[in-house]
Structure formats: C-alpha cells, structure tokens
Chain A
Amino acid sequence: MKIVVCIKQVPDTKGGVKFNPDGTLDRGAMLTIMNPDDKAGLEAALRLKDQYGAEVTVITMGLPKAEDVLREAIAMGADKGVLVTDRVLGGADTWATSQTLAGAIRNLEYDLIITGRQAIDGDTAQVGPQLSEHLNIPVISYAQDIKIDENTGTVTVQRQYDDRYHILKTQMPCLITALAELNEPRYMTPGGIFDACKAEITVWGRDKLNGVDDSNLGLKGSPTQIAKASDKVRKGAGEKVNLDPAASVDYIIGKLKEKHVL
C-alpha cells in the first residue's frame, strides 16, 4: 500500500505572528511546527504502515526551510519526503495550494492520501477536499478512526459529526482528512533523527507540476484577496458587577440595548 500524507509547516503560535505588507504571513520570520491535524494524519498513516505494511511519502509545499518538517516526519517513521517549492507558488490561497499539491501528487503512486482537517494558520479546512476534487477521488473528512480492508481495497472511516459519528466506506484510492483528536502522535526517535538528516528529500519546482495551469498557481492564481490581516486583538478585562439576580438581569439587558444587540 502506498500512502501520501500532506503536511504543512505552520507558525508556532507560542512565538507570535508576523505579516508581510500584502497581508500574507511572513513565514520566514516565525518559529514553526508541524500542523497538529497533519501530524495526526501522519500518525494515522504510520499506524497503517505498522499494521498492514505501507510506504509513507510526506509532501509539503512551502519555503525551502519547510524541508525541516519533512525530516521531522521521516524521523517519526515516514519513508520519503517531497518538497514543492518555487517563488511562483508563493502567496497561494487554498485553491492555488490544492492545485499545486494535485500537480505534484499526480507524479506519485498512491492508494490513500491523508491530509489534516485544517491548518492552524488559515483554519479553512478546504485544501483536503479540493485536492480530492482535482484528483477525482472520493474524500472522507474529519476522520476519527480509519480501517483498511486489504482484500477489497476499501477503507472504512468514522467521520466526526457534532454529537455523533458516521461510518463511511469507500474504495481506494481516496482521500481522508484527519483530526488532531484522531490519535496521539508518536515522538521522533533519536536513531530516526540521524536517518532523517541523511535522507534525500525530493525537491520539485513549478516545472515538475503535472496538469496544472499557471493561472491557478501562486498569489496570481489565488481568488482569495486579503484585505487586511492583524494579530488577535486581546479582549479587555471585562466588567464585574455585584448585584442581586433581578437587578443583574436589568443591568445586562441595559448593556445589550446600549450596544444595539437588542
């Protein structure tokens, strides 16, 4: 079985957020981590590898330094890493990103593609499902459990859904989006780190992307235009009042009217 896992190097929210003048994230200036949902997706792939035997390829689009996140994945147990990097791919929104990843994954063999549900920097949850559309394969999102039937080549997934879950079954190849709650990702191992640093990372530029038009790539190919971006504005300390229940209801209603909520 061949599994492709899409992972993203995202800003470590502990390190603060920095922006480019055009409103996109200044990724070069921030501390980074592997996106938590993607890490759960990788762990799911590695568990399938442990259970059924599989070759796990991790792929990422990003700056050259995104190679680090691929090496981290290899140190956890992934077999191969592919870095898609090119200046013309910069500033991509979800549409251009999924087009880029599809163009790269068309060069790979796969039975299963796993992506994280969403990245903590964009929180869109769009890239996984878009990618499945471009590759014309089924998608099951929000997976909280994954089982493979090797005889029939099918995958059965528990899909998280508000207060319940759905059990969905589909034929491979298919795409699954994983939730951070899916599992507890394993640690790298010291020996794995030594291997990962020696591993050869495949680097692809625009010229290696298969079946993608230039008009769908990078900032120019991104329908999303960012008007303005800012760091989270801290909420004020709030207001504490000490009134009996009846008076406090009046007080709150008064405040809500004042703010034109009521």
Chain B
Amino acid sequence: MNFMLSKEHEMLRTLYREFAEKEAKPLAQEVDETEEFPRGTAEKMGKIGFLGIPVPREYGGQGCDPLAYAMCVEELSKVCGTTGVIVSAHTSLCCDPIQTYGTEEQKQKYLVPLAKGEKLGAFGLTEPGAGTDAQGQQTKAVLEGDEYVLNGSKIFITNGKEADVYVIFAITGVVTDARGRTKKNISAFIVEKGTPGFSFGTKEKKMGIRGSSTYELIFTDCRIPKENLLGQEGKGFGIAMHTLDGGRIGIAAQALGLAAGALEATIAYVQERKQFGKPISAFQNTQFQLADMATKVEAARLLVYKAAVAKATQKNYSLEAAQAKLYAAEVAMEVTTKAVQLHGGYGYTREYDVERMMRDAKITEIYEGTSEVQKMVISAAILK
C-alpha cells in the first residue's frame, strides 16, 4: 500500500492548480453573481486537454487515468465549483458512456471532438417524475424506419444549453414478466444540438453552482438516426447506472475540492483576523475546528482517490464510488459551513469565497444520486 502520489500526479496537481488560480479563480465570483456560463474557461480547458483526461489517445484524449481526472475536478472546484462540474459532467456523463458503449463510428464522430474539447457534452436522465426513481421515465423513443422519434423532456441537465452532444435516455418498450409486472425498457441515444425537434425549456435558478448551465431539454418529434442508439436497445438502464458510478467519482472530487478550498481560505483568514488583541487562530476553538476540518478533508481525499484507482483497476467500483461521494459530499457541507462560521459576519457576505462555497457544496449531496441513494448502494453491496 502506498499513499504517495506518483511523479505524474504531483506534476498534474501543479498544472491544475496553476490553471485554476490563473483562469478559474479570478472569474468565480462573477460567474456566481451573473449566473453566466464561463465559456472562455471551458474553451481554454478544451485546448489543453482538460476535457479528455481519461479518454485514450486514439480517441483524441490525454490517455491518463481516472485519478488524473478526479484531481483536475478537485483543483478546479477548490476555486470554482461551477468550473469543476463542467468538466465532471462532460467527462463522466458524456465521454465515458460513449467510450464504453459506443461503436467505433460513434467514437470517431462524437468522442474524438468531445475529448479534444472542440465540443461539450451533457447527459439527460432526470425527468420531473424520474429523479432517484429512474424507472419513472416518461420520455419515449419509437423506431420509425431508420430513425428513432423522441418525445418528452429532461430536467436539471448540467451543461444544458452549452453542450453540443447529449446522451439521452428514453423508453423504447414496455415488457410484462410472467407474474404480470410491467417493466420499462430504457435505451440510450446520442443526440446532437440543433436536431429539429430538440429545444431548451426553463433555465433553473439555483442556490449554488450558479454559472453551470442547468436547463430543461425538450424533445418534440425529434428524429435521430438509428445509428445514434448507444449500446443495445433496452440496455439503457444499465448504461445509466454504470455511467453514474463513474460520475459519482467526479462529483465526489468536486465536493472534496469545495471542502479543501474552504479549508484553505479559512486557514488564511483566521491568521489575519484579530479579535481581543490576537489572531483568532490563537483561540483553541478555532484550532480544534480546523483540526477536525483538515482531518475530514484528508479522509475524503483518500476515499475519492481510492474510488478513482478502483475505476482503473476493478470491473465494479459502485461501492467505492458511492462511499466516496457520500462522505465527500457530507464533508463538503460540514467544512464549508464551519468555514463560514469561522469567518463570522464576513463569511456570510458575498465578498468572501466561503459563502459561495457553502452554497455550491449543497448540490453535491443531491445530484448524481442523493446521499440517501449512496447509502442504498453501499448497504446493498455490503449485505449481499
């Protein structure tokens, strides 16, 4: 067992930190305030390979491992939660399923430009009536000749209006088993922006990650070529679940970054802020709070990195991914809340980054599987 990062990963950390400090941090407040998607930052990330880190070189990616990718999301999220989730949703939820389930033609057509950062990706599973209960889907796809016709809508879609390529799930049939129970057959599709019948609905007004483009996607007789079916027809639910296992590592890394960023900001603040004639870091309450925060951040980091390594080395990593996401998200919420408390009144103002970090942290306990879903996954794995 070796807890030391390799030389490669140490250098990656330097690169991610330099980029985050120079490019993402100066815009973080403005992106939050204006709710504007940081298009320029996304383009810069695309040019230097941040949008294809774990994708093999033959498909335009960087050919690195999942840990290299998780560390990127962590470092970006330390300064800007919005920028972190742009990379996470694009990589885990769009590149990964196309890489895993796509045909060679689909990979050449879609994965290559996604990994090169020429195009941005998104993923549409959630519907008004189908969040945690993915079987509650209503969107349908009907095969007519050489085309599938999509009807329905998706909500809360990250990178929503900014993406070019979408992995969309829809019902392609309903089957009844021997006991008369019905089950929806779900399939996955690759849909391009601009396809007739594909439009955008409401933009969500959110508590945090406000620069992230969160939209409703609407499909009205949207015809997509048959060859854009991703994987086999009816196997979409498995594709979605497998994709979310990977996605959880990305969100866990985002949560870790938010916690680590808030801790860093607080360490600096408590040494500058004076009360009763001394820096507040001299008070034992501050010291003990920081000790707890730092220990939890480190524990979250170990779980996130372990899950990332598991993705590279194990066929099934659902348990590791769920544990990492559950814990890192809880730590993100706890550490950012304590960070605001240690900043006092200033921490409650938008002048200080910890206020934004606390708002950004909450979503990590909700999206890509709520904490409760993670507990279901974990308990199912340990009770089998």
Contacts and interface: CB of A to CB of B under 8 A. Distances in A.
Main secondary structure of the interface of A (DSSP, over half): helix
A175 B61 CA distance: 36
Q: How large is the interface on B (under 10, 10 to 19, 20 to 34, 35 or more residues)?
A: 10 to 19
A188 B63 contact: no
Contacts of B72: 190
Interface string A184-220: 0011111111101100000000000000000000000
A111 B312 CA distance: 44
A190 B7 contact: no
A70 to B, nearest CB: 12
B11 A75 contact: yes
Interface in B47-76: 48-50, 53, 57, 61-64, 68, 72
A72 interface: yes
A188 B11 contact: yes
B62 A191 contact: yes
B32 to A, nearest CB: 24
A232 to B, nearest CB: 22
A73 to B, nearest CB: 12
Contact of B18 (A187, A190, A193, A194): A187
B177 interface: no
A197 B53 CA distance: 16
B60 to A, nearest CB: 10
Contact of A197 (B7, B48, B50): B7
Contact of B48 (A71, A72, A187, A196): A187
Interface in B26-52: 48-50
A21 to B, nearest CB: 31
B15 interface: yes
A193 B63 contact: no
Nearest to A187: B48
Contacts of B299: none
A194 B8 contact: yes
A194 B62 contact: yes
Contacts of B61: 191
B62 A188 contact: no
Q: Give the residue among B7, B15, B50, B63 with the most A Cβ atoms within 10 A.
A: B15
A190 B62 contact: yes
A193 B12 CA distance: 7
A191 B8 contact: no
A190 B57 contact: no
A235 B72 CA distance: 40
A193 B65 CA distance: 12
Contacts of B8: 193-194, 197
A43 to B, nearest CB: 14
Interface in A43-89: 71-72, 75
B7 A189 contact: no
Contacts of A196: 11
A192 B8 CA distance: 10
A187 B45 CA distance: 10
A187 B15 contact: yes
Q: Give the residue among A75, A188, A192 with the most B Cβ atoms within 10 A.
A: A188
A96 B62 CA distance: 41
Nearest to B50: A190
Contacts of A197: 6-8, 11
A190 B19 contact: no
Contacts of A188: 11, 15, 48
Q: Give the residue among B12, B18, B50 with the most A Cβ atoms within 10 A.
A: B12
A71 B11 contact: yes
Interface string B205-238: 0000000000000000000000000000000000
A191 B63 contact: yes
Contacts of B48: 186-189
B49 A191 contact: yes
A103 B50 CA distance: 40
Nearest to B53: A190
B7 A187 contact: no
Contacts of A194: 8, 62-64, 68
Interface string B294-329: 000000000000000000000000000000000000
Q: Give the residue among B7, B11, B49, B61 with the most A Cβ atoms within 10 A.
A: B11
Nearest to B57: A191
16 contacts: A72-B11, A187-B15, A187-B18, A188-B11, A188-B48, A189-B48, A189-B62, A190-B12, A190-B49, A190-B64, A191-B49, A193-B11, A193-B15, A194-B64, A196-B11, A197-B7
Given A191-B61, A194-B64, 19 more contacts: A71-B7, A75-B11, A187-B48, A188-B15, A189-B62, A190-B50, A190-B62, A190-B64, A190-B72, A191-B49, A191-B62, A192-B49, A193-B8, A193-B11, A194-B8, A196-B11, A197-B6, A197-B7, A197-B11
Kindly list the 4 A-B residue pairs having the minimum CB-CB distance in the complex, ordered from nearest. Answer: A191-B62, A190-B62, A189-B49, A193-B11
